[in-house]
Each structure stands twice: as C-alpha cells, then as structure tokens.
Structure 1
Amino acid sequence: MDNKKLQKLVEEISIKFFQKPFRHQALFNPRLRSTGGRYLLGSHNIEVNRTYFEQFGETELYGIIKHELCHYHLHLEGKGYQHRDPDFRQLLKQVEAPRFCSPLPNAKKAKPVNRILVYACKTCSQVYKRKRAINTEKYVCGKCRGQLIKVKELTSS
C-alpha cells in the first residue's frame, strides 16, 4: 500500500464511520517506531506506521485510522480530542476504534538498568553512591574538595 491508497482509505473510513469528510493529508511515516499513528495538531495531517500494516494487516490499520480520525474530527469541532477527554472516549466506543494499538512482537523493550555507581574521595575516603555517572574531572568531594575516583559498579537484575 502506498500513500495514495492510504489517503483514499482514510477518506472512505471518515465518510463511512464519521459521516464527515477528511480534507487533509494521510501518509506513512517511516520514522514512527513506538506508535501506530499520530494526528498532527498544526497541519491536521495523519501519519501512520507502515510496520503495523505489514505485520498485522488491514484490520489493525483500520483501527489505527479510526483512532486518529477521532482525534482529527474532535479537534476540528473544538471538542475534547485528547485520550483523557470524555468526548474522545465516547467517540471511540461509538465507531468501535481501539484505544491502543497492538504491541509489535519484535519491538525491543527497554530493560530497566538497576545499577549503583560507587565513588570515593582519595583524600578523606567519603563514599558516594549514585545511579547516574559522575564526571570525576569536573566534580570533587563535597566534604574536603578532594578528587573522586570510581570504586565499583553494583548491578542487580
């Protein structure tokens, strides 16, 4: 499917489910990674993630388009178009659009890194435990202004 077919599909879905025309541009955005689509407030365009269409097919694509059209039509009407707004939730139910898209099966999930970095002062041996790294060239001991050195890194999974 190319952008012309996507545009035509969005226009058809808009008329069929919302009884209102879609007068802006719909296109595939190759930069989208973690979302099925997005509605752009400034230009009123809709961008869709092609990967969802390739992996899940047309039914998922229909759901994404209906979801984004809910944002589109409510925003143009001056009603609540955000996920938390009652107008948005009501319209989602009315057109049977999903609130969230399906997670991609091969999407990399960010694992939380539970690490503790231990630094010590060369002069007074004051110990500092931090989650984020310290630039030992820039920062010094808060107690005696001595040089800091990295002692060890503790990790737990």
Structure 2
Amino acid sequence: MEKMNQEELKKLVNRLSEEYFDKPFIDDVSFNFRLRTTGGRYIPSKRKIELNPKYVEELGREEFIGIIKHELCHYHLHIEGKGYQHRDKEFKQLLKKTGSPRHCSPLPSMKKKYKYYYRCKHCYTVYKRVRQMNLRRYRCGKCHGKLENVTSKHKDLN
C-alpha cells in the first residue's frame, strides 16, 4: 500500500489537528513498530502519540487518518484538563464531533488461524485455540465436562 516517513507523519498529524480541532499539535508523534494489537496510543505523561505503521501499509490512508484523529481527541482533551479516557463523556462527544472511530479495524496480517480444536465430551461445545491446552488442567466452561482434542477432524475449518 503506502509508506510514510517521520516528517510526513508530523505534517499529517499537525494538518489534521488544525483541520478538525482548530488547534496546533505541538508535541511529539512517532511510529512505534512494536505496537501489535492497536492502531495507536497517547501517552499523557510524555504528551506523545505513537502510531502503528502497519495500519497505513495494510489498511490505507483513510483508516490511518481515523486513528490519528482518535489519538488527537485524547491529546487535546488531556491538554485542556478534560476527560480524555474512553469512558469519559467529553471524549465520546469529541469523537462524534470530529468523526473519529471509537476502535480501529483489526489488521489483516494479525487475523489468527486456529490451530487446535477441543470439544466437550458431555455437551459437545467446540473450543478453538491458537495455542495448545493441557487437557488435564482445563474443563468445559459451560458444563465442566472433560475436553478432548478434535484438531484433525476440523482441519477444513482452518
């Protein structure tokens, strides 16, 4: 898809801040290549926004702009001393006002394929797992029955 360097990122974040919030973004923004399950994060103690570069590469510019706007909502509310956390009313209102997403879409590369399938011997509930489980240690969450490994029978679901 698309690649972006640090300088382009800074310009984009400042432009979006001016456009949607009528305020400049004066602090630090950077790519964090270690982020795995989220599109970005705002660190209040450092007044810094970190963004996942995989989102611009895999899902494109529009999704990435949504993530930046979401993080800018955290940033501007924090600076103004208002509620900047997900549960706060002011945060939810600002998300709505700026058209920012509440959550980002999962990355296509992070969608997990289940490797192990277990079934309860009593109620036949199927459990899909990425990692193998110790069957002597775990029981069915619904009826507390014993579990059995049925991975080879479910290869077509993977």
The TM-score normalised by the length of structure 1 is 0.72
Determine the structure 2 residue equivalent to 1:97: 100
Q: What RMSD, in angstroms, separates the aligned Cα atoms of the two structures?
A: 2.2
Whether 2:22 is the aligned partner of 1:22: answer: no
What is the alpha-carbon distance in structure 2 between the residues aligned to residue 109 and residue 37 of structure 1? Answer: 20
SS of aligned partner of 2:100: coil
Q: Give the 3 Å change call, closer, same or farther, for CA 156–88 of structure 1 in structure 2.
A: farther
Q: Give the 3 Å change call, closer, same or farther, for CA 42–110 of structure 1 in structure 2.
A: farther
What is the alpha-carbon distance in structure 1 between the residues aligned to residue 135 and residue 105 of structure 2? Answer: 37
The TM-score normalised by the length of structure 2 is 0.72
Whether 2:66 is the aligned partner of 1:63: answer: yes
From 2, 11, 14, the equivalent of 2:14 is: 11
* One-letter amino acid of the counterpart of residue 41, structure 1: P
What is the alpha-carbon distance in structure 2 between the residues aligned to residue 116 and residue 32 of structure 1? Answer: 30
* One-letter amino acid of the counterpart of residue 23, structure 2: K
Gaps of 5+ in 2: 115-127, 139-146, 152-158
What is the alpha-carbon distance in structure 2 between the residues aligned to residue 110 and residue 39 of structure 1? Answer: 30
SS of aligned partner of 1:26: strand
Q: Give the 3 Å change call, closer, same or farther, for CA 110–80 of structure 1 in structure 2.
A: farther
Deviation at 1:154?
4.8
Deviation at 1:110?
8.0
* One-letter amino acid of the counterpart of residue 40, structure 1: I
SS of aligned partner of 2:30: strand
Q: Is the 8 A contact 1:26 1:47 kept in 2?
A: yes
Higher helix share: 2
Determine the structure 2 residue equivalent to 1:148: none
- In the TM superposition, what are the counterparts of 1:20-59 in structure 2 within 5 Å? 20-59=23-62
- Rg larger for: 1
Aligned length: 126
* One-letter amino acid of the counterpart of residue 45, structure 1: K
Deviation at 1:115?
4.3
SS of aligned partner of 1:93: helix
